[in-house]
């Protein structure tokens, strides 16, 4: 039952157990019914024999004709009275003188000192016979027979009823089991949905806890405790990252200032100047890394305030492309911009939006070799505007592509080939999420990559909407 939901497994087990119980119950009832009918028939034969025994005692000493007439009257008042015979101690039939039916296959009647039951068949019908020795003096032997057809028909009808009831009960038990399973597991589904809605950005949310006192309440409480511990741990990590980034900026800035001052000194010898150049490059890279780490730490903590206002996406793309045009020309690359003729408006934060586009275009230029090309294209579809940045660079390995937006993930195999902190795309993903936009990546190793971000457009044909100051991540 692999890959089957718990509710269906519970339904299967419930149905199997219910059907097994029903079959066991039916079997016990069948045996009890058959036994009860058999015992009932035997008791009936004994009562009939007792009545003839009483008649024998009552007619002791009476003429034979009177006794025979008394036996005939008694037999007429008993069902199946024609299936009763009376023998004396010598085995001579006393009653009836001409038994009916004449061809009834009476078994051989032998003198006996105790009651003897026999079963036989006559005309494809089962019969039961009792040999009943009387306690009178002189003793007689009474043979009483009765048909078992009614018993057999009743057992057959009961068996047929069981066979027809089994599938019906299976269906009913399956429906009942599925209903009960869904009802019992509904709180589990609610807990699952609640846990899926809680991410790194909203760890303060908690699951609703019912006061049922059962395992589900303990499960919800355990999940909330785990979330509380996880929130505390993440908060500590964010605080440490923010504090460390903030505290390290000052010494890095001081080292950079001292290095720049040393480089400006004309008396610095060539070997020292080369060392200072390396120190300055590392300071610039470390400063960029610290700024990126501090940005992400503040974003995770929800401490970055952004002002969302109507922005012309065409203008933002044009400004960013123009700013990176000299960098592309320095690498003998071509930057091609394909924008829409009509203005496209979105709601966004101006500086954050520029940083998002700058990260995508900067990456495309960095990972594209000399004389390559970078294409920036904007398209409109319904109420969505998409900006795609396509390059002809080295591409992203398949193993790295699913994690390309994670922090400190680099697309190049060697960190030294391209300068960067490994946090740019993580910041871009965060900015896209803050703008309720979708950022995706497609790449083929050795042929290039395409990063696309889709925004919701707004209508600015009427009065301009008011600015929406809020914290990113709310």
Per DSSP, the residues of 133-145 read: E--SSS--EEEEE
Ramachandran sector of residue 205 (left: φ over 0; alpha: ψ -120 to 50; beta: rest): beta
Tokens of 230: 């996880």
The pLDDT score that the predictor gives to residue 36 is 92
User: What's the chain's length in residues?
Assistant: 474
- Give the DSSP per-residue string, 338-364: E--SS--EEEE-HHHHHHHHHHHHHHH
Cα gap 247→266, rounded to integer Å: 32
The pLDDT of residue 61 is 77
The pLDDT, as a whole number, for residue 199 is 77
- Tell which wins on pLDDT, 9 or 391: 391
Question: What mean pLDDT do residues 404-416 have?
Answer: 66
- Residue 245 near residue 290 (C-beta atoms within 8 A): yes
Q: Which helix (H) or strand (E) holds 193?
A: helix 149-196
Whether 405 has a pLDDT exceeding 90, the answer reads no
The model's pLDDT over 445-473, given as tens digits with 9 standing for 90+, comes to 888 899 999 999 988 765 544 545 444 44
The distance from CA 30 to its chain's CA centroid, rounded to whole angstroms, is 41
CA 334 – CA 338 distance, rounded (Å): 13
- Average pLDDT for 34-49: 90
Q: Which residues pair with 448 in a beta bridge?
A: 444
pLDDT at 111: 66
Q: What's the mean pLDDT in 55-62?
A: 82
Asked if residue 226 has pLDDT above 70, the reply is yes
Average pLDDT over residues 51-57: 87
Please state, in angstroms and rounded to a whole number, the distance separating the CA atoms of residues 330 and 371: 10
Q: Give tens-digit pLDDT for 310-354.
A: 999 999 999 999 999 999 988 899 889 988 888 889 998 888 899
370-383 pLDDT tens trace = 888 999 999 988 88
The CA R_g of the chain, rounded to the nearest whole Å, is 49
Residue written as token pair 């294209």: 377
Query: Distance between CA atoms of 326 and 410, rounded to whole angstroms?
Result: 25
Q: In what order do the strands lie in the sheet with 141-147?
A: 93-95, 84-87, 141-147, 125-133, 116-122
* Across 255-276, average pLDDT: 81
Q: Phi and psi of 397, rounded to 5°?
A: -60, 150
b/e per residue, 384-415, with b = 16+ CB within 10 A?
A: ebbbbbbbbbbbbeeebbeebbeeebbbbeee
Is the separation of the CB atoms in 310 and 460 below 8 Å?
Answer: yes
Tokens of 22: 């029903």
Distances (CA, A) of 197 to 190, 203, 257: 11, 10, 47
Answer yes or no: pTM beyond 0.85.
no
**Token pair of 103 as six digits:** 């061809």
Element (H, E) at 132: strand 125-133
Beta bridge partners of 310: 347
Q: Is 102 helix (H, G, I), strand (E, B) or coil?
A: coil
Contact (Cβ atoms closer than 8 angstroms) between residue 351 and residue 314? no
Mean pLDDT rounded to a whole number for the chain: 82
Q: pLDDT band for position 416 (50/70/90)?
A: very low
Task: Say if residues 451 and 359 touch (Cβ distance below 8 Å).
Answer: no
> Token pair for residue 162?
């069981």
Rounded CA-CA distance 113/206 in Å is 87
Q: Which residue has the tokens 């993930």?
A: 409
Structure tokens at 38: 């058999």
Give residue-wise pLDDT tens across range 82-114: 788 888 877 778 787 665 555 677 766 666 678
**Domain annotation for the chain: domains and CATH numbers:** 6-156 (3.30.450), 215-300 (1.10.287), 305-471 (3.30.565.10)
- The answer to whether the beta carbons of residues 394 and 445 sit under 8 Å apart is yes
| More confidently predicted of 95 and 25 | 25
């Amino acid at each position: 039952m692999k890959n089957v939901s718990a509710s269906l497994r519970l339904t299967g087990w419930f149905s199997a157990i219910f059907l097994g119980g029903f079959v066991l119950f039916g079997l016990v009832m069948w045996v009890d019914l058959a036994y009860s009918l058999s015992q009932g028939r035997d008791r009936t034969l004994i009562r009939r024999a007792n009545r003839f025994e009483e008649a024998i005692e009552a007619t002791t000493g009476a003429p034979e004709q009177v006794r025979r007439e008394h036996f005939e009257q008694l037999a007429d008042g008993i069902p199946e009275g024609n299936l009763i015979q009376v023998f004396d101690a010598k085995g001579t039939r006393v009653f009836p003188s001409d038994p009916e039916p004449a061809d009834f296959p009476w078994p051989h009647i032998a003198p006996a000192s105790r009651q003897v039951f026999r079963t036989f068949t006559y005309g494809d019908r089962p019969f039961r016979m009792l040999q009943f020795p009387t306690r009178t003096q002189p003793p007689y032997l009474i043979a009483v027979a009765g048909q078992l057809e009614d018993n057999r028909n009743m057992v057959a009808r009961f068996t047929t009823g069981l066979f027809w009831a089994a599938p019906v009960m299976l269906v009913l038990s399956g429906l009942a089991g599925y209903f009960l399973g869904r009802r019992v597991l509904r709180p589990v589904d609610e807990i699952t949905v609640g846990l899926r809605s809680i991410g790194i950005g909203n760890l303060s949310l908690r699951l609703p806890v019912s006061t049922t006192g059962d395992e589900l309440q303990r499960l919800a409480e355990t999940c909330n405790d785990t979330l509380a511990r996880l929130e505390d741990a993440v908060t500590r990590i964010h605080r440490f990252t923010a504090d460390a980034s903030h505290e390290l900026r000052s010494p890095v800035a001081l080292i950079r200032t001292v290095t720049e001052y040393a480089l400006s000194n004309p008396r610095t010898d060539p070997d020292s100047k080369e060392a200072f150049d390396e120190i300055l490059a590392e300071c610039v890279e470390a400063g960029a890394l610290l700024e990126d780490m501090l940005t992400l730490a503040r974003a995770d903590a929800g401490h970055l305030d952004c002002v969302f206002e109507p922005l012309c996406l065409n203008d933002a793309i044009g400004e960013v492309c123009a700013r990176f045009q000299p960098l592309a020309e320095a690498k003998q690359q071509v930057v091609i911009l394909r924008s829409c003729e009509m203005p496209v408006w979105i709601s966004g934060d101006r500086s954050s939006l520029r940083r998002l586009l700058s990260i995508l275009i900067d990456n495309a230029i960095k990972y594209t070799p000399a004389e390559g090309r970078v294409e920036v294209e904007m398209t409109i579809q319904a109420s969505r505007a998409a900006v795609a940045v396509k390059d002809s660079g080295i591409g992203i390995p398949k193993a790295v592509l699913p994690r390309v937006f994670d922090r400190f993930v680099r697309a190049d195999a060697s960190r030294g080939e391209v300068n960067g902190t490994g946090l740019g795309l993580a910041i871009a993903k965060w900015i896209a999420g803050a703008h309720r936009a979708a950022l995706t990546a497609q790449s083929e190793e050795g042929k290039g990559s395409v990063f696309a971000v889709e925004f919701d457009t707004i209508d600015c044909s009427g009065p301009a909407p008011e600015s929406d100051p809020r914290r990113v991540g709310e």
